């Protein structure tokens, strides 16, 4: 139940967290990984919080993923000892790499021969390396069918005493552009097929003991059996969001965060409500629905946190601090200047990064890397 005094004190956009929902999301994903017999290495870039990270330990999680060396350092200071940085090696951060590798099991992603050469020459402690493979997302990684290039990188890793080859890793980010569960499942099957072909080629060349790591929330939420891979790395699932709801990755009651936004003005001629809550709070990510850009879905505050999503009501435009809500007649009449609306974000990872601090329904403040000591 929400602490109603919290809503009375809110004067600016505030990120509200339903802890019970988040914990259920963690429990469900951990159980799914356990049933498939794979390592669950959740991506902590979504919540970026040491306190929220502790919730994962209750479900046996000991290995995590982050998106930067700074984030790896933050979680290492909070007693995480097996961390994958899911971003290509940046050789300008060599000092940070060596500092972390001296303290924890540091797992890095490599795709560049030049970066690998530099790493070999300057690393001072053991590092686990994963080769980033592109199976269709076309963001980073070596295309899966360039077997000679992949093999050459493995050989160079194996010639370096302090570098240890762990396996091949991918992120099927193109699942985020789908709109059906079947489309997500098809991308997952295609991804696994390509990764297995890469592994088989390496095995036939005498390179053994390599694992396959995959990690996008739509696949990990919709697919049930991961027995053909060794590790899953979803992140967004801890909170979910409007985009995941549209894809079919979650139910509405799984979404665990909402931004509380004060109503500052109303325009009756347009049935629009102006809220204090813009791009610097919600990001400018959007989904398209029937030709409309939707930057967030709208709910009302209630005792359990927030209501069900209000049909035909959504954040239709964002500038830096302003948000424009296209409202139904009922919402327009009900919402008064000075009230608050709940905006469920399109992309909870970016929203959490922008907001930097959570308030639970019980009015507990939870900090992130951005406001840690």
pLDDT in tens, 168-181: 999 999 999 998 99
Q: Can you list the positions of beta strands (E) in 118-271?
A: 127-134, 142-143, 163-169, 211-214, 231-232, 257-267
Tokens linked to 352: 């959490």
Give me the pLDDT at residue 45, please.
Answer: 98
Assess whether pLDDT exceeds 80 at residue 282: yes
Residue 247 forms part of a structural domain: no
Assess whether pLDDT exceeds 90 at residue 268: yes
Pick from 239, 265, 294: which residue ends a domain?
Answer: 239
Assess whether pLDDT exceeds 90 at residue 294: yes
Q: How confident is the model at residue 2 (pLDDT cuts 50, 70, 90)?
A: confident
Residue 45 sits in the same domain as residue 159: yes
Pick from 185, 214, 239: which residue ends a domain?
Answer: 239
Closest listed residue to residue 153, CA positions, set 189, 218, 198, 122: 198
Span 141-168, average pLDDT: 96
Residue 58 sits in the same domain as residue 132: yes
Q: How confident is the model at residue 4 (pLDDT cuts 50, 70, 90)?
A: low
Give me the pLDDT at residue 122, please.
Answer: 98
Q: How confident is the model at residue 208 (pLDDT cuts 50, 70, 90)?
A: confident
Residue 73 sits in the same domain as residue 151: yes
289 φψ region: left (φ > 0), alpha (ψ -120 to 50), beta (else): beta
CATH of the domain at 268: 2.40.37.20
Longest dimension (CA), the chain: 71
pLDDT in tens, 105-116: 999 999 999 999
Q: State the CB neighbour count (10 A cutoff) for residue 202.
A: 20
Assess whether pLDDT exceeds 70 at residue 6: yes
Residue 29 sits in the same domain as residue 11: no
pLDDT in tens, 7-41: 889 999 999 999 999 999 999 999 999 999 999 99
Residue 39 sits in the same domain as residue 157: yes
Number of domains in the chain: 2
Cα dist from 126 to 22, 105, 122, whole Å: 35, 8, 11
Q: How confident is the model at residue 255 (pLDDT cuts 50, 70, 90)?
A: very high
Residue 106 sits in the same domain as residue 47: yes
What is the share, in percent, of the chain residues with pLDDT greater than 90?
95
Residue 249 forms part of a structural domain: no
Give me the pLDDT at residue 7, please.
Answer: 85
Residue 120 sits in the same domain as residue 85: yes
Q: Identify whether the C-beta of residue 12 lies closer than 8 Å to the C-beta of residue 263.
A: no
Assess whether pLDDT exceeds 70 at residue 54: yes
Give me the pLDDT at residue 296, please.
Answer: 98
Give me the pLDDT at residue 70, please.
Answer: 98
What is the pTM for the complete model shown?
A: 0.96
Residue 261 sits in the same domain as residue 132: no
Residue 250 forms part of a structural domain: no
Assess whether pLDDT exceeds 80 at residue 1: no
Residue 336 sits in the same domain as residue 294: yes
Assess whether pLDDT exceeds 80 at residue 3: no
Residue 168 sits in the same domain as residue 225: yes
Q: Which domain holds residue 317?
A: 4-16+256-371
> 30-37: long-range contacts at Cβ-Cβ below 8 A with a sequence spacing of 24 or more?
30/56, 30/59, 30/60, 30/61, 31/59, 32/220, 32/224, 32/226, 33/226, 33/232, 34/60, 36/224, 36/225, 36/226, 36/227, 37/227
CATH of the domain at 138: 3.20.20.10
Q: Identify whether the C-beta of residue 208 lies closer than 8 Å to the C-beta of residue 17.
A: no
The structure tokens 């899953």 sit at 232
Assess whether pLDDT exceeds 90 at residue 266: yes
Residue 206 sits in the same domain as residue 289: no
Average pLDDT over all residues of the chain: 96
Give me the pLDDT at residue 373, please.
Answer: 62
The structure tokens 């109303």 sit at 266
Span 341-359, average pLDDT: 98
Residue 155 sits in the same domain as residue 273: no
């Amino acid at each position: 139940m929400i602490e109603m005094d919290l809503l009375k004190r809110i004067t600016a956009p505030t990120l509200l967290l339903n802890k019970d929902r988040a914990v259920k999301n963690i429990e469900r994903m951990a159980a799914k990984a356990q049933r498939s017999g794979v390592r669950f290495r959740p991506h902590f870039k979504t919540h970026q919080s040491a306190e929220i990270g502790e919730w994962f330990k209750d479900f046996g999680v000991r290995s995590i993923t982050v998106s930067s060396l700074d984030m790896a350092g933050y979680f290492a200071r909070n007693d995480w000892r097996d961390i994958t940085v899911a971003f290509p090696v940046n050789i300008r951060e060599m000092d940070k790499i060596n500092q972390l590798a001296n303290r924890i099991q540091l797992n890095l992603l490599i795709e560049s021969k030049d970066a690998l050469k530099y790493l070999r020459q300057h690393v001072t402690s053991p590092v686990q390396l994963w080769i980033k493979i592109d199976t269709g997302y076309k963001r980073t990684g070596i295309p899966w069918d360039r077997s000679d290039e992949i093999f050459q990188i493995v050989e160079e890793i194996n010639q370096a005493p302090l570098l240890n080859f762990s396996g091949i890793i991918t992120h099927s980010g193109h699942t985020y552009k789908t709109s059906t569960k079947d489309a997500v499942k098809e991308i997952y099957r295609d991804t696994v097929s390509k990764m297995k072909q890469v592994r088989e080629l390496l095995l036939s060349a005498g390179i053994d003991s390599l694992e396959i790591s995959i990690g996008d929330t739509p696949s990990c939420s919709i697919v049930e059996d991961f027995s053909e891979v060794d590790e899953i790395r979803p992140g967004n699932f801890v909170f979910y969001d409007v985009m995941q709801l549209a894809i079919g990755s979650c139910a509405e009651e799984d979404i665990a965060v909402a931004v509380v936004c004060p109503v500052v003005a109303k325009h009756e001629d347009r049935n629009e409500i102006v809220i204090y809550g813009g791009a610097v709070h919600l990001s400018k990510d959007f989904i398209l629905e029937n030709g409309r850009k939707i930057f967030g879905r709208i709910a009302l505050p209630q005792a359990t946190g927030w209501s069900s999503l209000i049909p035909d009501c959504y954040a239709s435009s964002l500038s830096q601090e302003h948000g424009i809500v296209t409202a139904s007649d009922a919402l327009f009449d009900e919402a008064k200047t000075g009230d608050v609306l709940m905006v469920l974000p399109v992309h909870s990872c970016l929203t959490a990064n922008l907001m930097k601090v959570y308030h639970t329904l019980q009015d507990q403040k939870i900090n992130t890397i951005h406001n840690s000591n």
